[in-house]
Amino acid sequence: MRHRTPAEPAVEVDRLLLDAKLSVPQPRRGSVSRAGLIEAAKSSGCRVVGITAPAGYGKSTLLSQWALAEDRRVAWVSLSGVDDDPAGLLMLLASAYARVSPGNDDLVADMGGLGVSALGRAAPHLAAVLSNSQAPFVLMLDDLHELRSPACHDVLGVVMSGIPRGSQLAAASRSEQPHIPRLRADGDAWELGASDLALDVEAAEQIFAQARVSATHEEAAAATERTEGWPAGLYLAAMIARASHGHGPTVSGDDRFVADYLYRESLSQLPESTQRFLRRTSVLDQLCAPLCDALVEDAGSQDRLRQLEASNSFLIPLDRRREWYRYHALFREFLLGELHRVEPEVIIQLQLRAADWYEANGSPALALEHLLNTPTQRDRCVQLVTQLAIPTYKAGHMSTVRRWLSALGDPAIENFPPLAVIAGWSAALTGQTAEAQRWAALLDAASFDPAPVVGTSFDSARRMLRAAMCSAGPEQMMSEASIALAQEPPWSPWRDTALYLNAEAHLLTGNVDQACALFAESSSVAATNSNADCLVLSESELALVAMDRGRWEEAAGRLERALAVVDEHRMHDYATSVLVVAVAARHAVHRGDLEQADRLIVRAMRARPSCTFVMPFLAVGVRMQLAKVHLARGDVSTARHLLREIDDILLHRPDLGALVDQVSALRALLTASTQGEPGGAPPLTAAELRLLPYLQTHLTLAEIGERLFVSRNTVGSEVTSIYRKLGVSSRADAVRQATAVGLLGR
């Protein structure tokens, strides 16, 4: 049975966990001072400090000692597996920096983005903010090994480039840090490894003295030799000796794995109830008393956590109030192993209790992380992903949605058609044509009776996806959208989408007045539903019609409203925001604000690759408006290039009704155009715009090809073309020029 624990209000859990991730943990009592290593790193003159060693070498302790001794401002981030998402990582880094740097209140919101936009827009923007810091700082990242995706390391590399002289980024990791080899070659990395962190006999004697263990110099030396100076091993040896009432520290020479031996010995000294508590709570990434109470079904967790912290039992407080904790990473791994060995039958139940608690306390995303570890809970996982996917997409965390869908697997998605609708929409909104078509084809043959969301039928959602893809022409789009609208009641969260698609269908069939009425209703409902995508698209189309009818003042008001929503929701790289930017550029040219027009043109040109033939009326409409504004600016060459892109889209979707006639008129206009300069080099293609952000990184051309799933030769050809179009001859110059003209960064 699910229940809410009153000790943790729902709205507080996520905020408290974020606060814990961004708070400097207190070093363990009795920790050996690392002042010498810290001072060497601080005075090295290197912008980046890499601390790389296996678990138990005191990496986190060194960082926390450094943070507490630092005169500069310290921004701290404790990373975990759920942070393995580029947009989420950038938001964490921005949150940490904003905490210690006044005047950056909007920085976190600016980090929202989709896919390449995190690398092409948000990461360089954060790097620029860091590079202009008014005071020196240290950005500390603990547990960097939790970031496994190349995309996260790509954005982190760009952020590192913004660390100014006098400031530093210090990262602790169990595994090799991808950025270190390049920085080492540049003489800009200070490295600390296991050999640097290993303790000597003098430090071992200090540990034993702090634990009030009587140890001779020879015994300390023997323990140091057996553990090879491994700090965790020496702390464990001291704990075992203290519990053995006077016996000196010993480390068995017969155990194959010193760590397992020492942990098992230390655990055996504790009461069975405490051992069981430790084993069972090891399924948690972070611990608090109410969560532990729910997990072990006992109300005494608060006292037990305090006792464990007081006894130095590898429990690390995550916040100053000591409400949230985590186990030392290596100790947790041992406890998980013990749980699998001693009580494997309770593991699924423990994961379910953790999921129940998080869901009851307003953190369904964290509940989902636990449920994904329980193969018997696929149905519940599917329901949660269906619930969370769209809000998570709107927050700019599409990589997280992709990870959830991947973890579920195609069979689970196929068996729950409403989630296949979500997968199809996600693909459509991010320009993933093949994937969107695959899900649409599957949905054609699917059936599902219950409503996936209150007020929404599966058939309606499926029809809206078909309408958006417009694969069978405007008449079929009209039929699908009309049926969907009839099925959506006034209170449905999808009614605005149904209205918008109906409006687009009427526009394609030439019924402009009816389309405008539907766009206006869609915009109104979208405002009530907080559906930014629908509001922006509807207002964009209304502004465009107003401009075509000479009502420029009305258009200005609609564009202002839509652009404000784009800015508020940080939708700068969304497919649904490109049209309003292109139309606003035309409006700026009309009123003579050419500087603003050029800024908007760059924004729209940069984002247009997200508009693909998966939503063909939008893809063609965006390029038509951009072609018109380039023509108005005298750039015939770029206008013709955009017309060629339109022709490519029409090869896939030839039947777009009235839009095809408008394309023909544009073609005739371009053919007849002999005025104005032909323009400079043609614009960057969609493929070149996808590649451009990677030029900020230090990836080789082959590695960039792996990221983009193309050959090295293709990358080389596209890079050469980018250089030619930007008028540069080097990678660094290409990045500088692209940033200067607005193709990279904010």
Q: Where are the domains of the chain?
A: 33-197, 201-268, 378-444, 686-741
Secondary structure element (H or E) that encloses residue 172, with its range: strand 168-173
Does 85 score more than 90 pLDDT? no
Average pLDDT along the chain:
87
pLDDT at 470: 95
| CATH number for the segment(s) 686-741 | 1.10.10.10
For residues 553, 558, 562, 567, the Cα torsion angle rounded to the nearest 10 degrees is: 30
- Cβ(372)–Cβ(407) below 8 Å: yes
Indicate the range of 72-76, 150-154, 429-433, 691-695 predicted with least confidence: 429-433
Encode pLDDT of 378-387 as tens digits.
Answer: 889 998 998 8
456 φ, ψ (degrees, to nearest 5): -130, 130
| DSSP symbol at 121 | I
Q: Is 637 helix (H, G, I), strand (E, B) or coil?
A: helix
Average pLDDT over residues 221-243: 81
Closest CA to 640 of 676, 669, 660, 606: 669
Cβ count near 622 (within 10 Å): 28
Inform me whether the pLDDT recorded for 329 exceeds 80. Answer: no
Alpha carbon 400 to its chain centroid, in Å, reads: 6
Lowest mean pLDDT among 396-400, 538-542, 730-734: 396-400
What's residue 220's pLDDT?
85
14-18, 601-605, 641-645, 705-709, range with the lowest pLDDT: 14-18
Q: Which fold has domain 33-197?
A: Rossmann fold (3.40.50)
Residue 244 has pLDDT above 70, yes or no: no
Q: pTM for this structure?
A: 0.79
- Which amino acid does the sequence have at 403? R
Which of 526, 527, 522 is CA-nearest to residue 506? 522
pLDDT band at 72; cut points 50, 70, 90: very high
Residue 260 has pLDDT above 80, yes or no: no
**Helix, strand, coil shares of the chain as percentages rounded to 5?**
65, 5, 30
How wide is the angle at C-alpha 461 spanned by C-alphas 457 and 464, nearest 5°?
A: 140
Per-residue pLDDT, 118: 85
Take residue 308 and report the two structure tokens written for it: 């464990």
Give the 3-state DSSP-derived string for 39-108, with helices as H, strands as E and coil as C. Answer: HHHHCCCCCEEEEECCCCCCHHHHHHHHHHHCCCEEEEEECCHHHCCHHHHHHHHHHHHHHHCCCCCCCC
693-723 tens-digit pLDDT:
999 998 999 999 999 989 999 999 999 999 9
> Where does the pLDDT of residue 7 fall: very low under 50, low under 70, confident under 90, or very high at 90 and above?
very low
Amino acid 344: pLDDT: 94
Helices (H) and strands (E) in the chain, counts: 39, 7
- Number of C-beta neighbours around residue 662 at 10 A: 15
pLDDT score recorded for residue 26: 83
pLDDT at site 731:
94
Highest mean pLDDT among 147-156, 232-241, 619-628: 619-628
Q: Residue 365: which residues within 8 A CB-CB, separation 6 or more?
A: 82, 388, 392, 400
pLDDT of residue 257 exceeding 60: no
Lowest-pLDDT range, 19-28, 255-264, 351-360, 618-627?
A: 255-264
- pLDDT above 70 covers a percentage of the chain that reads 92
- In terms of Cα–Cα distance, which of 197, 183, 181 is closest to 40? 197
In this model, does residue 449 exceed pLDDT 70? no
Q: Pairing between strand 315-317 and 325-327?
A: antiparallel
Strand, helix or coil at 141? strand
Residue 222 burial by Cβ neighbours in a 10 Å radius (0-12, 13-18, 19+): buried
Determine the residue type at 122: A
CB atoms within 10 A of CB 727: 11
Q: Tell me whether the CATH fold assigned to 33-197 matches the one assigned to 686-741.
A: no
CA distance 142 to 146: 9
Ranking 280-289, 304-313, 402-411, 548-557 by mean pLDDT, the lowest is 304-313
Contacting residues for 584 by C-beta, under 8 A, at least 6 apart: 559, 563, 600
Highest mean pLDDT among 91-95, 102-106, 388-392 belongs to: 91-95
